[in-house]
Amino acid sequence: KTDEFMKSVLNKKKIKIKYIKSNIRVGKTIIDNILLTLVSGKYICYCGSDDYFKKKAFEIMSKILDELPKKNKNNINGVITQSVDTEGVSQTFYENKIPNKKLIMTWEHYSKYIKGDSTNLEKASVYKNKKFKEVDFLISESTLMNEVHKNSYFLLSPIITKIMRRASDSISFGNKMRYNR
């Protein structure tokens, strides 16, 4: 019932949302590339089909950005917050590398902390005229992300903003895609 839910959210108009619906299965990468051509806002943020944002996730990430000193705002490509599974296990950081406070670091340095999926609120402008490689699950999103964020800074936060649904039928935790990526 995603379509019904999105239409009810759009009617409330709390935040600006562009809702694009595909009537055919074209694959994540193809739809992501279509969406990149339609972005008009300052930031983008992804949420997988088996994930969901916690209440006030965008408010929290926006507040983190607002707390940045003005001298740092132009040099930061976005905010990275933590995603956990439905059992509360971090899917973003290795257990012994969860930061206990906000940190500013380069994308390359961040890769030493990361275990898997995070919640990234990223400047949309870095993706202008860029595309994800259209080979689903064989070439990950990080291929393009490593290119567009090279030598860029992010504000890293241990705050949890997204839940990844742990279930046997999910892409992230199920066995259907076991040998990919």
**Residue 178 clears pLDDT 50, i.e. is over it:** no
Checking if the pLDDT of 84 tops 60, the result is: yes
139, 181 Cβ separation under 8 angstroms: no
* Mean pLDDT (whole number) for 65-73: 82
Coil, strand or helix: which one is 117?
coil
- What is the gyration radius of the CA atoms in the chain, in angstroms? 16
Q: Is the pTM of this model over 0.75?
A: yes
Distance CA 60, CA 65 (A): 9
Q: What is the pLDDT of residue 167?
A: 66
With residue 155 as reference, give the H or E element that holds it.
strand 153-164
- 6-32 mean pLDDT: 78
Q: Per-residue pLDDT tens for 121-162?
A: 999 999 999 998 876 556 677 888 889 999 899 999 999 999
Which of 171, 134, 126, 131 has the alpha carbon at shortest distance from 150? Answer: 126
Beta bridge mates, 83:
162
